[in-house]
Amino acid sequence: MLWNTESVPTDDSTVERISRDLGCAGVAEDARTVVVRAEAVLGYQYDRKVLTVAALRLLTRRSRGSRSSLERAAACDAFAMDPEAVAEAEAALAATLQSPADETDIRALRRTVITFQELLAAVEAGRSCAPYRPGSDLVGLDPALARLLEQPFDELDADALERHLERLEADLEMARLGVELYALLEGESGSVDDESG
């Protein structure tokens, strides 16, 4: 299902306050975006507070910036919410989004990102040999990246490694979030219009 891009009134203070109070301030902006789009897609059948907790749970489960998933019971207790209503809103919200990639694919991408981060750090530090990473054979690596890594270590281009690393990090985030949620948060599926002008 594609997100409806029609303008929806927002009460940012609710999302920001709940995000902050639940220790999720780092994803407050993303939560606001998800809540606005969820209201556009699902209508106003869910209370904004309930929808905010549902969005925060979805984001903390899928996002790389989260330390751990937000506990539904604790969040509901903090705001005297019905856990069943939050669970229903979570299910409705998740049904409007593509699922994240398989955990095996996410782990493989994460290992590749870590390997490229270490390679880039070694190249930038002027080391003469690659860091040893047991089990980092990079099976299934994009052929262009594999060719890049076939070069002698001292000939690796830091700028090329950095460009590939940025793309790999974006791929990893897309795998974690799911394509639709990633596109929504990156503003690629029709950003929320700023009607203030």
| Tens digit of each residue's pLDDT (9 = 90 or more) over 71-93 | 899 899 988 999 999 999 999 99
pLDDT at 95 over 70: yes
Contact of 27 with 61, CB cutoff 8 Å = no
This model's pTM is above 0.85: no
The CATH fold assigned to 12-97+179-185 is Cyclin A; domain 1 (1.10.472)
For the chain, give every domain's residue range.
12-97+179-185, 103-177
The answer for residues whose C-beta is within 8 angstroms of residue 128's C-beta and 6 or more apart is 153, 154
- 22-73 tens-digit pLDDT: 998 888 999 999 999 899 898 888 999 999 999 999 998 887 655 578 889 9
